[in-house]
Structure formats: C-alpha cells, structure tokens
Amino acid sequence: MHRCFCLLAVATLISAAQIVAPHVGFFRTAEGQLRPVEGLEASFVLRKPLRLSAVSANFSDQAGIVLEKAAVSVLDSDGRLLADYPVVDPDGTVGISTGVDTAIAWLPATRTLMWFNGTSFEKRELAADLPAKVVNIRRDGQQALLLLDEGKAVSEASVSVVSGDLLRLLLVPDVRTPAAYLGAEVVSPEKLNLPCAATAVETMSTAWVHASCGNQSDWAVHFAHGRAQAWQLPHVRLAARVQPIGPHSEAQR
C-alpha cells in the first residue's frame, strides 16, 4: 500500500512538471525584440526573445508576420521561421488574421502589396497612390483592406490583389489612430480601456493586443465577449515577469 502511494505521488509530480503555461502571444518591445508571453493574466512570463529585430509585427494564434529591417518573415505559432523575403522598407506595416495564408505586408516605398499564399510570396504594385498613410492591413480573399490615417479620422481602403486597383474608400466611424485589425474588427484607443494614451497597437495573438503608451508603459489587452481587459507589461530590461495592475475593464467604469 505504501509503495502504491509513493508511485502515485511520483506520477503526480511528473504530471505537474509537464503542465505547460498558456501561450498568450508575442510582444514587440520598443527595441524591436519579439518576446513570447505565457501564463495567466495575473502571472504572465516574458520568455527569451526570438532572433528577429522587428519594425512591425502582428500575430494570430496560428501564425505571425514580421517586417524586419531587410526582410518580411512569416512565422509559425511557436515563432519558428517558415519563409522570408528580402525587403528594405522601414515604413511598411504587416497584418495577419488567422493562418499563414492570411499574412500580408504593405510596402509604401514601392507602393506594393506582398502576401504569403501558404507556400510562397506574391506581390502586386498598386495602380495609384493611396490618399493617406497606411497604419495596418489585412487580407480578405482577393482584397487587401488597409487602414489609413486621415489625421482626425481613419478610413479603410479596399484594394484588389489581382489588379492593384482601389475598389473603394470608406470612413471608419468612431475610430482614430493608432488602429489595427484584430481579425475583422478594428481596434483603436477608445476600445482599449487604458489609463494612458496609446501610441501604437499590434496584435499579439487572435484575442490579445499589445498597446504601447510611448515611453510610459506597455499593455497586454484581452478582448472577449465585447469586453477589453488590460494588464501592464514591465520594461523587459527591468523585470522578467508581468506586473498586473488591472484588469481595467468596461465593467469597472
């Protein structure tokens, strides 16, 4: 009986050791590092950075796309490189909705859309200039949808990836920059419920957004059932763990 108890205890310890912390997503630091974020809301852990230096990065639960100083890279859900393409365009932006075949980049220096079809990259130059700066992008079938910074407003341009023609340009109501797509939804500061002014927004995964408040603070914001909850991320050089001071939610307002 004693032996059985000991074996059960050992099995329990082994099982506990095999528990894997939930993967939240990837967090791009001000220095361009990409840090995997794991754990629960009250005890996030920032893992060692990927071997990439990112200018722009967005992730879903299935994959990610990163604009580096000299390349566009597509990653799997663990941050492993699947494909890359040489590019030099520090003003570009990238986006992804679900799987790797939704990864897309906007390269303003050459007025080019570049997307990954699941096996290789394809490109299309736009037929004409867009009327404002592109702040985020996503692919929807044969269309690329681009969010444009119109100053005090944000518009959405729909462009054919087949012809490069502008199909339509519509104002996005009640949205201002910084703005980003989270799936098909547009996320902007008024939806983040932060105690500071966001200066940049990128997706960490399918339901998580990273919001930067400049040099003040960085936040991980979770969206579920129409609600947003935010936890502050510490500077990666100062601490390895997240110090939650939230959640800040609409329910608490």
Residue 186's nearest CA partner among 151, 143, 156 is 156
Q: Where are the domains of the chain?
A: 22-252
**Low-confidence winner among 38-47, 113-122, 201-210 (lowest mean pLDDT):** 38-47
In this prediction the pTM is 0.84
Angle at alpha carbon of residue 132, lines to 126 and 135, rounded to 5°: 90
Parallel/antiparallel/unpaired status of strands 45-46 and 218-224: unpaired
The fold of the 22-252 domain, in CATH, is: Neuraminidase (2.120.10)
pLDDT tens string 17-76: 456 678 899 999 989 999 999 988 767 888 999 999 999 999 999 999 999 999 999 999
Q: Residue 86 pLDDT more than 70?
A: yes
